[in-house]
Amino acid sequence: MIARRAAITSALGLSSVALLAACHQVWKLDPQDLDMRGHLPDLAFTMTDAATGKIVTAADYRGKIVLLYFGYTNCPDVCPLTLYEMTKILASLGSKTKDVRFLFVTVDPLRDTLPVLAKYIGLYHTPEFIGLRGSNAELQALASRFHAGYSVHPSANPADYTVTHTAAAYVFNRRGKAEFICAGLSATSPDLAGIAKDLRHLIATDSI
pLDDT value at residue 208: 62
Residue 55 C-alpha from the chain's centroid: 20
pLDDT value at residue 19: 35
pLDDT value at residue 135: 95
- What mean pLDDT do residues 76-105 have? 96
Under a CB-based contact definition with an 8 Å cutoff, are residues 169 and 83 in contact? Answer: no
Q: Answer whether residue 159 shows pLDDT above 90.
A: no
Residue 123, domain member (yes or no): yes
Under a CB-based contact definition with an 8 Å cutoff, are residues 111 and 119 in contact? Answer: no
pLDDT value at residue 153: 82
Angle at 152 between CA 45 and CA 116, to 5 degrees: 65
Q: Torsion over CA of 168, 140, 125 and 192, rounded to 10 degrees?
A: 10
Residue 201 C-alpha from the chain's centroid: 14
pLDDT value at residue 90: 97
- What mean pLDDT do residues 137-150 have? 95
- What's the domain range around 55? 27-205
Q: CATH number of the domain at 162, please.
A: 3.40.30.10
Domains of the chain: total: 1
| Lowest mean pLDDT, pick from 3-7, 41-45, 89-93, 121-125 | 3-7
